[in-house]
Amino acid sequence: MNRTQAAEWQRYERFGDKQTHYQVAIITDEDQASKIQLEDGQTAWHSRLRIDEIARQVDSATGDIQYHFHDLPPDDTHEYSLVSLIAEGDRGAEFSELVQFGKHLLTFDDRTGLVCEVRNNNQLVPRQILMTGSGDEEFKGFKSEWATLKDNHVYIGSHGKRPQEEWIKVIGRHYGLQSIDWRENYQRMREAAGVAETGYIIHEAAEWHPVLKKWLFFPRKLSSQPFDPERDERECGNNQLFICSEDFSDIQIIEVGERHPERGVSSIKLVPGRQNECIGLKSVEIGERTETYFFAFDLNGRVLQQDTLIGHYKCEGIEIL
């Protein structure tokens, strides 16, 4: 296959190494707060899509790279409401990721399993509904948490903490669907981190690297102890990036910056045209308190932008447009 024909390469090559300013889309996952009442009295669920900018600068004296997040004003040209009429258990529009797939910006509801195209920044077009596990055992939406492009397919995964969350979904150009049991891959990451026997890893951020042919996983939570909700919220935020071979037989783990126990990574993206640099989001959820931070880093573990507060609400998906 000519690499320029593959979706992953189209996405990676849409900017060259001279690009210094990028527009980014960020989507909110507002959990129970997503429920709204429309003017006609109909119940619906909504999320916010915001458009911001990031800039890349190189220090002329030191050669150090720095990314800067430009928080654009929340007006009609920079923030949009996305409304869904589809729910499960009275919850919906809890979008956990954004991925540019050809000309389409896709988002994934981690409550209903809904896969939507985002049109004109303010319209949701349903394209697929993913079901939990293999899709055959239970009438429950897939808890989509991470998504990336590999070849001409979108790979969508869940937390990986429980057996039904160790399956992944693979969607093609025409939204055909495969369900694949990834338990061995999740287990290899737990073993590499030394938590396989008693602890757990919660995944919400992953990216396939088309140049290196490796998986980048940046777990949100990592613990060598059994799951405890209060401890998980306050103490288990992770700063370790997993760089995995295609078959997960070789896994390198590197630390990226300082660990903030309350913050966990909820989305990462490889910067197009720059094979060593990534941007991402970190989220905080402690009771009713929610926060989202932007950060940037490289694959050697250097921090290219310290955590920058975006807002006191939860965002779980970022994509470079």
The total of other beta-carbon atoms located within 10 Å of residue 198's CB is 10
Region 207-220: mean pLDDT is 98
- Three-state DSSP class for 195? coil
pTM of the predicted model as reported, rounded to 2 decimal places: 0.95
Nearest residue to 132 via CA among 157, 115, 154 = 157
Give me the pLDDT at residue 5, please.
60
Tokens 């250097």 belong to 302
Quote the DSSP letter at residue 33: G
- On the question of pLDDT at 4 being above 80, the answer is no
Q: Using 50, 70 and 90 to split pLDDT, how confident is the model at 128?
A: very high
d(CA 279, CA 259): 17
Residue 209 has pLDDT above 70, yes or no: yes
pLDDT at 3: 55
Instruction: Give me the pLDDT at residue 72, please.
Output: 77
Taking a C-beta distance cutoff of 8 angstroms, is the pair 253, 245 a contact? no
Q: What value does the mean pLDDT take over residues 131-160?
A: 96
For residue 312, give both structure tokens: 């006191």
Q: What is the pLDDT of residue 224?
A: 96
Q: What is the CA radius of gyration of the chain?
A: 19
Arithmetic mean of pLDDT, 56-63: 93
Give the separation between CA 218 and CA 280, rounded to whole angstroms.
Answer: 10
For residue 160, pLDDT beyond 50: yes
C-alpha–C-alpha distance, residues 115 and 125, integer Å: 8
**Which has the higher per-residue pLDDT, 175 or 29?**
175
> What mean pLDDT value characterizes the chain?
94
- Give residue-wise pLDDT tens across range 274-301: 999 999 999 999 998 999 999 999 999 9
* Per-residue pLDDT, 2: 52
Contact 119/125 with Cβ under 8 angstroms?
A: yes
**1/210 Cα distance (integer angstroms):** 13
The residue count of the chain comes to: 321
pLDDT in tens, 70-105: 877 777 678 999 999 999 999 999 999 999 999 999
Q: What is the pLDDT at residue 32? A: 73
**Bigger pLDDT: 1 vs 148:** 148
Q: What is the mean pLDDT of residues 35-42?
A: 90
Residue 30 has pLDDT above 80, yes or no: no
Which domains are present in the chain?
3-320 (2.120.10.100)
Q: DSSP string spanning 208-234?
A: EETTTTEEEE--SEEESS---HHHHHH
277 SS3 class? strand
Instruction: Give the model confidence (pLDDT) of 18-27 as tens digits.
Output: 999 999 999 9
Q: Could you tell me which of 294, 297, 201 has the C-alpha nearest to residue 251?
A: 201
